[in-house]
Amino acid sequence: MKRMLLKQLKEMTRHDHEQIGLVVDIPSRVASLDSYRMLLARFYGFYAPLEETLAHVADLTAVVDDLEARYKLALLARDLLALGLSHDELIKLPRCQALPPLPNVAAALGCLYVTEGSTLGGQILVRQLQGALQLGPEHGLAFFYAYGPTTGSMWRRFGAQLEAYATTPEREAEVVAGTKATYRTMQEWIVNG
């Protein structure tokens, strides 16, 4: 088993990761409470159908046995409600129709690499937004706070799950394809809807 897959995956998708960072421009999307709320609404519209799709990937829970604990939709809903959206407005938020294709476990793991990596990066935003927008994990920052002090261990656990599954060149290639497709579709949805 290759123990270097996470490092290779990071390198092989570096351009995709950098591109989404440039195009989405998180700093401008968290500059005010209104723009932050709009960003969370876009994430909600992406995660709602994505998590439903992940729940139906055959055998994924055999590999990621804590999959439900990794879902973020409830955290996004809690944030949006705390920031003033009503339940009716939440239900009516637009949903992404052009999700990344997730035909198998490997592609789903590539998708989770993006969402779990975002959770890891979200810890930096938490520190920034607590002061700038006067938010906290219980009021508007649940999504980015996510696992809180266990974020690092959750990332390592996911990495181990990914490494244990992607033991062939074919599976590795499918993980990379799933990662790239998720970066592309997430970027397109957040920027253009």
Sort residue 8 into left (φ over 0), alpha (ψ -120 to 50) or beta: alpha
List 136's β-bridge partners, or say none.
139, 140
Q: Which string of b and e fits 120-154 if b means at least 16 CB within 10 Å? A: eebbebbeebbeebebebeebbbbbbbbeeebeeb
Q: Give the C-alpha separation, 185 to 193, whole Å.
A: 10
Query: Residues 154, 157, 161, 167: is their CA dihedral positive or negative?
Result: positive
Does pLDDT of 2 surpass 70?
Answer: no
- Render pLDDT for 153-192 as a digit per residue (tens, 0 to 9): 999 999 999 999 999 999 999 999 999 999 999 999 999 9
Q: Are 13 and 176 in contact (CB under 8 A)?
A: yes
Domains and CATH numbers, the chain: 5-192 (1.20.910.10)
Residue 163 pLDDT? 95
- Render pLDDT for 47-72 as a digit per residue (tens, 0 to 9): 999 999 999 999 999 999 999 999 99
- Render pLDDT for 167-178 as a digit per residue (tens, 0 to 9): 999 999 999 999
3 falls in which pLDDT band (50, 70, 90)?
low
3-state SS assignment for residue 92:
coil
For 91, the token pair is 């239900």
- Render pLDDT for 100-123 as a digit per residue (tens, 0 to 9): 999 999 999 999 999 999 999 999
